[in-house]
Structure 1
């Protein structure tokens, strides 16, 4: 009886496949390609970064992902849609005595371009917010089509940008519904911690309701695991449960926990500018490439 003899190439291939390095999500690590330059700009795809739990990395992700996309030649506009104004502070822009998103929501005749502020990062602009925004829900509650007011504001800006990122406040109130109604996609930053995981089902339910009743074009662009600590069993178990529950909706990029993020916030800079060689900066550049590869961003 003749036996097949394994060639050197066959043996090498088998060895390589058996030693494929897996990422934190349990999937093989992939290197996403550098995005091709764009021939022109606009119309923008609008993405809401949303989670009703606070402290999960929404603002950090909006800033860092926006800066990473800008570095790849995309024109990015960040909308601070949280009365705490953390995104505005994190990009070092003024929030007092200047037009904010609150003014644009209430004054239909104001040109939204007047509220745009340029940041120190090329191709990255912001419309700021401050504590005034906390009164918006009270003022908007009696407005006609109150869920679509932000969409009306952003209609004037989509031709100038490739992507618009909305940093939502940690709630599922009228402002968040406005953001979801105005958006093409939703990105959910999710802290790798048990209590953060519990609220995802409620958030998904809200997204489905908005899609059904207000914005049929709304899509889930992905769930981004943040504050991951590979040294703890808890982090690994939570991430495993998220992948089991949501499958390919979980992005391959995972953002680790690091003290560099608060340092960058104090400096008013994205992590990609503050510490460009740090693993966190590399992760956000990978996130930008993954979103382009997935078609969430041009």
Structure 2
């Protein structure tokens, strides 16, 4: 299963969600890959430590080699790095993704990530793709390469409008490039149960037919501590309330997957 975590609005928790769901998948025994397409490299640093963003043989190197033919080109697996966590792997990001984007667009390399991940499908049971908060070349590549898309929603009015715009764009891309892409659901993140606005906005989404997943992720300083320690919650604080919410969310997604 290949999933992309995407929202055009920044600060909604894409990297945290991608990395923590991946870590739970790995802890459950699935060989799991995280592909970090955000030049900021938050997922790379979360799973590989502070040097993750400078790792050699990264996802930018993968895209760069597609720009010219070379009989000595590396295989997709050569851009995959192991983490210190069993079954968890990363294709790390790099800042030079920004430099490559126009060359990749001009040479129509939009399907290269899909082809690479299909090649890796025999090695990995689950793939989670983290994206930048923009519908750019890399995000489109991820949506074309994926079977499912999850959209984080942080319970404010601006995020609600962004969600509506995203759905229109995803539907158009699915129609033109990837009819197998399914909208798995909206992930409610940074939920505050005592506040009225989050509950009201969620109810509005449900009334409009958006598939809001039934597990809401709360707020906790433990997440920032997890980032600082470069250790996903399932390894750092397995009994913490937020960790258990992530586990419930993961199990919800796996249940749906099992029914397909």
> 1:1-298 residue pairs with structure 2 within 5 A?
45-93=1-49, 94-108=52-66, 109-144=73-108, 146-247=109-210, 249-295=211-257
Structure 2, unaligned runs of 5 or more: 67-72
CA root-mean-square deviation: 1.5
**3-state secondary structure, aligned to 1:104:** helix
Q: How many residues align?
A: 252
Q: Is the 8 A contact 1:101 1:128 kept in 2?
A: yes
> Which runs of at least 4 in structure 1 moved beyond 6 Å after TM superposition?
none
TM-score, with length taken from structure 1: 0.81
Structure number, greater radius of gyration: 1
Q: Within 2, Cα distance between the matches of 1:164 and 1:176? A: 15
**3-state secondary structure, aligned to 1:48:** strand
Q: Within 1, Cα distance between the matches of 2:33 and 2:184? A: 18
**3-state secondary structure, aligned to 2:213:** strand
Q: Within 1, Cα distance between the matches of 2:116 and 2:107? A: 15
1:97 deviates by 4.8
Cα shift readout 1:154-196 (whole Å, capped 9, x = no counterpart): 1221111111110011001111111101111101111111111
TM-score, with length taken from structure 2: 0.93
Q: Within 2, Cα distance between the matches of 1:49 and 1:57? A: 9
Q: Within 1, Cα distance between the matches of 2:55 and 2:246? A: 32
Q: Within 1, Cα distance between the matches of 2:45 and 2:34? A: 12
**3-state secondary structure, aligned to 1:164:** strand
Q: 1:258 to 1:66 in 2, by over 3 A?
A: same
Q: Within 2, Cα distance between the matches of 1:293 and 1:136? A: 39
Structure 1, unaligned runs of 5 or more: 1-44
1:75 deviates by 1.3
1:232 deviates by 1.0
Q: Within 1, Cα distance between the matches of 2:197 and 2:259? A: 32
Q: 1:197 to 1:296 in 2, by over 3 A?
A: farther
